[in-house]
Structure 1
Amino acid sequence: MQKASIFLGFVPWIVFSVVAGPSTWEWAALAALVCSLVLAVPDWRRSRSISILDAAALVFFAVLLVLSVTLDRAALQPIEDRAQLLSSVVIAVVALGSLAVGRPFTEFYAKKEAPREVWGTPTFKQINRVLTGLWGVVFVINALCDVAVGYWGASPDVFNWVIPIVAIVVAVKITSWYPAHVRARVQAEHGTHGTHGAHEAPAQSA
């Protein structure tokens, strides 16, 4: 899968995380919902399916918007105070949940690049399990950073920016390297004749 393809799936969550604040989370939710629609509609028109990230974003941000117009200010206060934490927890649960049920979310993006005949191969499955687990850990780290800032008074600059950005950069580097590493290992073990699945699986990931 291409880096841009999977990274686009994170855009609504990134937009919400950057924009959301005590007085701006409703606008952040609206902007994120619009981004989700922009990403999901073309996929739906093309294949009648959308990624689990897009589906979760559509539901999560739509629910936030509904709550923002139906609840009073007092009831909304917990959401205002913890909007970023909520989004981090949701995306972490979605990523790790997709792994737990055997449908790693990265497969959606990988299938755009790989031919159908390799979708069921062990190499294809392994690559996507590892990548989904990797990004799930990144999302958990982001959620823990939000907890550190919101509940423990940790430095927002370090825990809202430095650590999450470093974690994402490391994940991007690993997802660029790992599929090629697996392909090379399979080639070394079985020779080029037996590596069709590894070759066609996403050589460029996330």
Structure 2
Amino acid sequence: MNNNYIPQIVVAISGASGAIYGIKALEHLKCHNIQSHLIISKSAYLTITQETTYSIKQVKSLATYVYNYTDVGSKIASGSFQTMGMIIAPCSMKTLASIACSYEDNLISRTAGVTLKERRRLVLMIRETPLHIGHLQNMLQASQYGAIIAPPVPAFYNSPENINDLINHSVARVLDLFNIDTPTIKRWNGMNLSHQSDLE
């Protein structure tokens, strides 16, 4: 066992709507003292400023390390660099397609390919609806390679009070896949039997 191993995860924010998922993932990782390696796509710069109140500088400050989207020669582009895996949040259909076709022309798709070949966790928070057959086939292909398809589908059994609750729950469920427990998550604790009479 490598005694010098440091827990760290790559987080990529692509240009799909839902940049807040990647931002919240960075915040949770920081709270858990897990090093994060951030890649922001060119389109994501636009969605971050359009959809959130965070500045690009604030988002970058949440990460331990930040990389240029075009820097395919960076350390995270090599399988010899050890990580727990990678989260792409959100994952655009373009990014999904590049992963499904092994078309590694930028640091996000290259690092995703490295994550798969090293048999590490690659979680794709897919953001698109409705889906045509090409989208579905790309999801199937990525899944067959070993990726985990985890669209940020809201849960309602936890009685969310606001959109932040919905976002944090989806992010926490993704972090569960890396055995990172987020205390704020409200987990399913069985059916509330007090409502059973309403079903009779």
TM-score range, shorter chain: 0.3 to 0.5
More strand by share: 2
Going by fraction, where is helix more abundant, 1 or 2?
Answer: 1
> Which of the two has higher C-alpha Rg?
1
TM-score (norm 1): 0.32
TM-score normalised by L of structure 2: 0.33
Q: Which has the higher contact order (CA 8 A, sep 6+)?
A: 1
